[in-house]
A and B are shown apart, each in its own frame.
Chain A
Amino acid sequence: MRRVLIALAGLAVVGAGIGLALTRAVPLPASAFDGITGDPARGALVFTAAGCASCHTAPKSEDKTVLSGGQRFGSDFGTFIAPNISPHPQAGIGAWTLPEFASAVTRGVSPEGAHYYPAFPYTSYANMTETDVADLWAHIQTLPADATPSAEHEVGFPFNIRRSLGGWKLLYHQPGWVMEVGDDPVLMRGRYLVEALAHCAECHTPRDALGGLDRSRWMAGAPNPSGSGRIPALTPDALSWSAGDISYYLETGFTPDYDSAGGHMVAVINNFAKLPKSDRDAVAAYVKALPTP
Chain B
Amino acid sequence: MKRVFATALIAAVACGGVASAQDYSGHLKARQGQFRVLAINLGILGGMAKGEMAYDAAAAQAAADSIVAVSMINQGPLWPEGSDEMGVDGTRAKTTIWEDNADFLAKWSDLGAAAKEMQAAAGTGQAAIGPMMGRVGGTCKACHDAHRAPQS
Residues of A at the B interface (CB closer than 8 Å) are 224, 227-232, 244, 248, 251-254, 257-263, 266-267, 269-270, 273
Report whether over half of chain B's contact residues are helix, strand or loop; otherwise say mixed.
helix
Do B141 and A253 touch across chains, with their CB atoms under 8 A apart?
yes
Hey, which chain B residues are within 8 Å of A262, CB to CB? 141, 144-145, 148, 150
How far is A257 from B148 in the complex, measured between Cα atoms in Å?
Answer: 17
> How many interface contacts (CB-CB < 8 Å) are there between A and B?
65
Hey, which chain B residues are within 8 Å of A253, CB to CB? 137-138, 140-141
Do B141 and A230 touch across chains, with their CB atoms under 8 A apart?
no
Do A260 and B144 touch across chains, with their CB atoms under 8 A apart?
yes
Contact A258/B50 with A229-B149, A229-B152 known, Cβ cut-off 8 Å: no
Chain B residues within 8 Å of chain A by Cβ, number = 23
How far is A257 from B36 in the complex, measured between Cα atoms in Å?
Answer: 9
Hey, which chain B residues are within 8 Å of A228, CB to CB? 149-150, 152
Hey, which chain A residues are within 8 Å of B137, CB to CB? 252-254, 260
Hey, which chain A residues are within 8 Å of B150, CB to CB? 224, 227-231, 262-263
Hey, which chain B residues are within 8 Å of A270, CB to CB? 138, 141
Any A CB within 8 A of the CB of B142: yes
Hey, which chain B residues are within 8 Å of A248, CB to CB? 46, 50
Among B40, B141, B144, which residue has its beta carbon within 8 angstroms of that of A258? B40
Hey, which chain B residues are within 8 Å of A254, CB to CB? 42, 46, 133, 137, 140
Residues of B at the A interface (CB closer than 8 Å) are 35, 38-40, 42-43, 46, 50, 52, 133-134, 137-138, 140-142, 144-145, 148-152
Please, which residue of chain B has its CB at the minimum distance from the CB of A254? B137
Hey, which chain A residues are within 8 Å of B50, CB to CB? 244, 248
Please, which residue of chain B has its CB at the minimum distance from the CB of A244? B50
How far is A269 from B138 in the complex, measured between Cα atoms in Å?
Answer: 10
How far is A268 from B77 in the complex, measured between Cα atoms in Å?
Answer: 33
Closest Cβ of chain A: how far from B33's Cβ, in Å?
A: 14
The 9 closest A-B pairs by CB, nearest first: A229-B150, A262-B144, A260-B140, A258-B39, A266-B145, A252-B137, A258-B42, A266-B141, A253-B141
Hey, which chain A residues are within 8 Å of B152, CB to CB? 228-230
Closest Cβ of chain B: how far from A260's Cβ, in Å?
A: 4
Closest Cβ of chain A: how far from B141's Cβ, in Å?
A: 4
